[in-house]
């Protein structure tokens, strides 16, 4: 089955954060301060390119480090504010950052659950998951995309070697966005 979004131009893109936009911390560790946040090569350009195509960008990120006491909501908000400011200065825009601060299996927002996506749909007019893509580096990102009927794009990450006709694989966010723009124009 081909995802519905691949049949029409994509209008909205939901991006994972860690491992997609920025370098992921080592297993069991978290990006808890801006000084530890490092954009992946091409990520800022990718987000800028989406904006140039009038494709809205939302960030949906699991941030279990809050539940585990590794950082507070204020620290996370500061990281996101500085990320958005850096992107803005580079001509790249994000509509909104949604985050899940909970442990696994304790809420309806932690990906692959759909709470963050549904909140974005409630808060932003015209979000149509059949005309959206979800780009991330984990099985949870891809599972959420498939449950939404959105186009799933896996960048490197966990399961990158697995084969499935329903999932597009790209080595980076920039190559994923370039592919998405090309296929949306067809």
| Catalytic site residue from 12, 18, 137, 141 | 18
Q: Please report the pLDDT score of residue 159 as a whole number.
A: 53
* Structural tokens at position 100: 């899940």
Q: Where are the domains of the chain?
A: 4-185
pLDDT value of position 157: 60
pTM: 0.93
Q: Are 163 and 32 in contact (CB under 8 A)?
A: no
The answer to whether 16 is a known catalytic residue is yes
Q: What is the pLDDT of residues 17-26, one digit of tens each?
A: 999 999 999 9
What's the rounded Cα separation, in Å, for the pair 18 and 63?
9
Catalytic site includes residue 18: yes
CA Rg, the chain, in Å?
15
> What was the pLDDT predicted at 134?
98
Give the chain's residues under pLDDT 50: 1-4, 6, 160, 163
Assigned token pair, 26: 């080592």
Nearest to 17 by CA among 98, 86, 107: 98
Write the class of the CATH domain 4-185. alpha beta
Selecting among 16, 108, 137, 141, the annotated active-site residue is: 16
């Amino acid at each position: 089955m081909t995802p519905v979004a691949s049949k029409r131009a994509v209008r909205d893109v939901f991006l994972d954060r860690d491992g997609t936009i920025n370098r992921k911390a080592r297993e069991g560790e978290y990006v808890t301060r801006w000084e530890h946040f490092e954009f992946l090569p091409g990520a800022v350009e990718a987000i800028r390119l989406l904006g140039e195509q009038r494709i809205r960008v939302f960030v949906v990120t699991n941030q279990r480090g809050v539940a585990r006491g590794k950082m507070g909501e204020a620290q996370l908000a500061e990281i996101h504010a500085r990320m958005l400011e850096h992107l803005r200065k580079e001509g790249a825009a994000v509509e909104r950052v949604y985050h899940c601060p909970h442990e696994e299996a304790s809420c309806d927002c932690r990906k692959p659950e759909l709470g963050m996506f549904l909140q974005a749909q409630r808060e932003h007019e015209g979000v149509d998951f059949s005309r959206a893509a979800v780009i991330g580096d984990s099985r949870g990102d891809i599972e959420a995309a498939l449950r939404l009927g959105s186009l799933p794009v896996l960048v490197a990450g966990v399961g990158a070697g697995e084969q499935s006709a329903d999932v597009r694989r790209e080595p980076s966010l920039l190559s994923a966005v370039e592919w998405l723009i090309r296929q949306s124009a067809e």
